[in-house]
Structure 1
């Protein structure tokens, strides 16, 4: 028997429960189910809820253990996490990520916080979010992009207040979001292409992520109303794939379209380069509209027509809502109006 812990030699010590994930493994359920059960949510049947609560008591894990710890002991650090479930080869050096991260760093520094950044591949770590918020290293978390992890984020939101997400808002969701009205942005993009004379549109991007799906849906709505056609062309965001995919698309089917709505400025930049390589005039033969209005969009040749989502204001909103949530306030989502920025490509 050990003098320190009272266990016999060779005997396993009781499993120590530090996070929702630990308790979920013992209970044989998801971390989201544990979170809802400890919060007393009626969506979990009474028998399961009582069993999980009993396990929590047995192991000394309090329902609000993480939240109370955060209230008692501040780390002065905000976690920023980028889940790449839909495009595992995308890099943090992506122009959009770097622009948003720059504004976030400025906002957090101004408020006296440090930033801890993580890039995760969810299929390699099912509990990527639970593990981060339960680490004890951060006071709260900002998630950049919903990717294909909407349900995971929803699960965590049930029991964890200090979290704000950059992404697309939809009616009835439980997690707090800051982002542009992506569907309206898609409408503005399609309207501009059609007003410029395009009638056969291609949407370049993966329509699985919620933000891109909303942009495509808005463009589809306008195309149908105005008698144009639109087709989604799956396009990755990883640097080593985007250019090749667009080059292949333009070589095989470029003549079938006269307007391109790129799901992001990053995709639009690659598209513009490939169009120039093929000698396809923009906007003479092909109209092009991007989405984001990154700083470099005004410097391309020709300058890119795009849909602006105010990234600076978005970063301010993310930090403001997170700090209010750290004070215990249940905030509403912030949906920002997009704006058409007309330059020379459409």
Structure 2
């Protein structure tokens, strides 16, 4: 992403002043000396993942003595509110924008306007489409997160001499980048061939019972699990896009009298999910670190404001890896992991 000359303060005066009051979901979360301004835009204000992300940004902003303004969509998928937030931040003359896109493609024109105003833009957690619409993406390696739980499941079932029959509980029909990466990583870890690099999986493999969507919610996980149990009552392995969906899947399995016969694996690392690892509801999860994403993002904006230096992503990927850890209380030989006690010390939400 190319930057225009740094004339944001002048630009702010030229942008409609009504924008400053137009978006009610804004707050000055850390008030610095006014020399550096960071805008944070999350998908929602209620998801614990984004609550923790906001906390990370607040802590980093306070440490640097810079001003942080935060915004959020009203619901997951609310692109209009995020576009308005970008416009508001441009009007404020910010140095940088940190954003978790609700719509990876639809948000790009607004981010291009920010870049033209000389503002550095970093995507957190969810990449834009195309990825180079921002200066960098600070996120979990979602393919690796899926691969870790897939490899754990594969080795566990192999040790028992059991062929997995897999139900896959995805996010939504749109197959966003996070959904695709986690699915494909899981399938590769499990040893399933991936037919199309742009799709979430290959249902032609006899081990895959089928896919259903959850919207990343507990109720969605319950419904999806009920649907896939009707398709194959003998399934024995469940992949879920996140831990709320895993909790819903467990409730459906329990209601069907199958909770003890099915292994669930997931991705997130939220405290309720790690507690479910500890209790045996989830066999293994991959922990991500939203606080780290946001604090690293603030650090990068401060560096940019002071020196003009943009992040140095992994070569050719426009991507900065913020870490992932396999959390399980069932150790698998040859596979590094942390137990639930460690997970509870490092979880979020």
Which TM-score tier does this pair reach, normalised by the shorter chain? 0.5 to 0.7
Q: What's the counterpart of residue 278 of structure 1?
A: 256
Match of 2:92 among 103, 126, 136: 136
Match of 1:119 among 48, 69, 72: 72
Q: What's the counterpart of residue 25 of structure 2?
A: none
Q: What's the counterpart of residue 9 of structure 1?
A: none
Q: What's the counterpart of residue 168 of structure 2?
A: 203
Greater Rg over alpha carbons, structure: 1
1:1-346 correspondence to structure 2 within 5 Å: 39=4, 64-66=6-8, 74=34, 77-83=37-43, 92-120=45-73, 122-124=78-80, 127-136=83-92, 138-144=94-100, 146-150=101-105, 152-153=107-108, 155-156=112-113, 158-159=115-116, 160-168=118-126, 173-175=132-134, 176-197=136-157, 199-206=164-171, 208-222=175-189, 223-224=191-192, 229-230=207-208, 231-238=210-217, 241-246=219-224, 248-253=226-231, 255=233, 257-282=235-260, 285-300=261-276, 301-302=279-280, 304=282, 305-327=284-306, 328-333=308-313, 334-343=320-329
- 1:7-47 CA distance string (max 9 Å, x none): xxxxxxxxxxxxxxxxxxxxxxxxxxxx98x95xxxxxxxx
Provide the rounded CA distance (Å) in 1 between the counterparts of 2:94 and 2:222. Answer: 40
Please state how far the C-alpha of 1:288 moved relative to its aligned partner.
0.9
TM-score normalised by structure 1 residue count: 0.66
| Unpaired segments ≥5 residues, structure 2 | 13-32, 158-162, 195-204, 314-319, 333-349
Check conservation: 2:268, 2:286, Cα contact below 8 A.
yes
Provide the rounded CA distance (Å) in 1 between the counterparts of 2:222 and 2:281. Answer: 22
Deviates more, 1:306-315 or 1:210-219: 306-315
TM-score normalised by structure 2 residue count: 0.66
Structure 1 residues 128 and 107, CA gap change in structure 2 (3 angstroms) = same
Provide the rounded CA distance (Å) in 2 between the counterparts of 1:308 and 1:162. Answer: 28
- 1:298-339 CA distance string (max 9 Å, x none): 322326320122334323322211222223212123113422
What is the aligned-residue RMSD (CA, Å)? 3.6
Structure 1 residues 291 and 106, CA gap change in structure 2 (3 angstroms) = same
